[in-house]
Amino acid sequence: VQLQASGGGLVQAGDSLKLSCEASGRTLRGYAVGWFRQAPGKEREYVAGFSRTGGYTYYADSVKGRFTISRDNAKNTVYLQMNSLKPEDTAVYYCAADNSIIQSQYRNYAQYDHWGQGTQVTVSS
């Protein structure tokens, strides 16, 4: 499966952005999908994701209540709605997918085989 992330940009604190992760080649059904981010000098971190069944969603504590992950199976696309953005949300955001990952590893970026190219999100104060 190939992934294409888009939707990043430069916004002010308090603004919203919606990222898209469009898959091609295979359906995302049966894949765990995660959004990760990486700020300069920091390790890649888990932001949000879907379980392999698609029935469960997971969020990092730092984004709970502000970010929402959703999907459109007809478009084979996963979204990340980001509200109330903060300067500390500034990072390159990546989407990733894997169809053999186990639940305990969903937050571990090293366990995902398929990655999108990343989209820059910059939040100014």
* pLDDT tens column, 50-84: 999 989 999 999 999 999 999 999 999 999 999 99
What is the pLDDT at residue 32?
Answer: 97
Report the first-to-last Cα separation within the chain, whole angstroms. Answer: 37
Per-residue pLDDT of the chain (125 residues; tens, 9 = 90+): 999 999 999 999 999 999 999 999 999 999 999 999 999 999 999 999 999 998 999 999 999 999 999 999 999 999 999 999 999 999 999 999 999 999 999 999 999 999 999 999 999 99
DSSP for the chain, please give it: -EEEEE--EEEETT--EEEEEEEESS--TT-EEEEEEE-TTS--EEEEEE-TTSS-EEE-TTTTTTEEEEEETTTTEEEEEE-S--GGG-EEEEEEEESS--GGGTT-GGG--EE---EEEEEE-
Q: Alpha-carbon distance 35 to 61, whole Å?
A: 14
